[in-house]
Copies of this chain bind each other. A is one copy, B any other.
Amino acid sequence: MALAETRNGDVWGEADRRHRIIEAAERAFVRHGFHATTMQHVAAEAAMSPGNLYRYFPSKEAIVQALCARDQAERGRAFATFAQAESVIAAMAEGLRMNLLGKPREKMQMILEIWAEAARNPAIAALCGAIDADVHAGLMGLVEAAKGKGEAVADLDADFAARLMITVVVGLFKRRAHETDFDGERELSLALGIFVTLFRGGIRPFSAPDAKGAV
């Protein structure tokens, strides 16, 4: 099916090329940043001509969207793996280790750029929103699973816990992107420290004391 299909069945080849372009685009975006990356850069990285990119994607924007969609799929797969883990804390540890230590800093920087883009570009915003919803749902599932295993107190509010975990992880992502002396293991133990207490039921929403007088 590989070589013989070039005549008519180049659909295979086309998907392959689209994939190659997205990979190249990611490398280029990671290297030069989001806005500074030109189609020439992507083309060079993909080892093809600029014009030829347009045979596979109608615009630069389309490439960006495809890349975001791929990330979404990746994230979804990661959560599917989490759900099978025996210990929820261990799963969180593994997931964070993968993202805080496993990925190069530049990748985190690209995520910052995607976040910024999402604030302006409705298509990207929709993709990111879908990712976030997935993650939120996945985390709530994890919390419920943890309850079932006795790793979390029974009356833990799953939505509260999920929002808290997302907040912490997002904060770590940003810090990882910026801080040159970011210590992954140290920050990992910080996050896990929070989560352990959370699961133990030690963290509850706290209504602020009236701040009328404060400045």
Contacts and interface: CB of A to CB of B under 8 A. Distances in A.
B192 A93 contact: no
**Copies of chain A in the complex:** 2
Interface stretch (A13-21, A58-66, A67-75, A158-166): A158-166
Given A90-B211, A214-B85, A187 B163 contact: yes
Interface stretch (A2-10, A48-56, A142-150, A173-181): A173-181
A128 interface: yes
A167 B171 contact: yes
Nearest to A186: B205
Main secondary structure on A side of the interface with B = helix
A75 to B, nearest CB: 15
B94 A211 contact: yes
Interface string A182-195: 00001111111111
8 contacts: A85-B215, A94-B214, A112-B112, A116-B116, A132-B179, A170-B175, A189-B205, A192-B206
Given A190-B205, A195-B206, 8 more contacts: A36-B120, A93-B208, A94-B211, A109-B120, A115-B178, A118-B178, A170-B174, A193-B205
Interface of A: 33-36, 81, 84-85, 87, 89-91, 93-94, 97, 109, 112-113, 115-116, 118-120, 125, 128-129, 132, 160, 163-164, 166-172, 174-175, 177-179, 186-197, 202-209, 211, 214-215
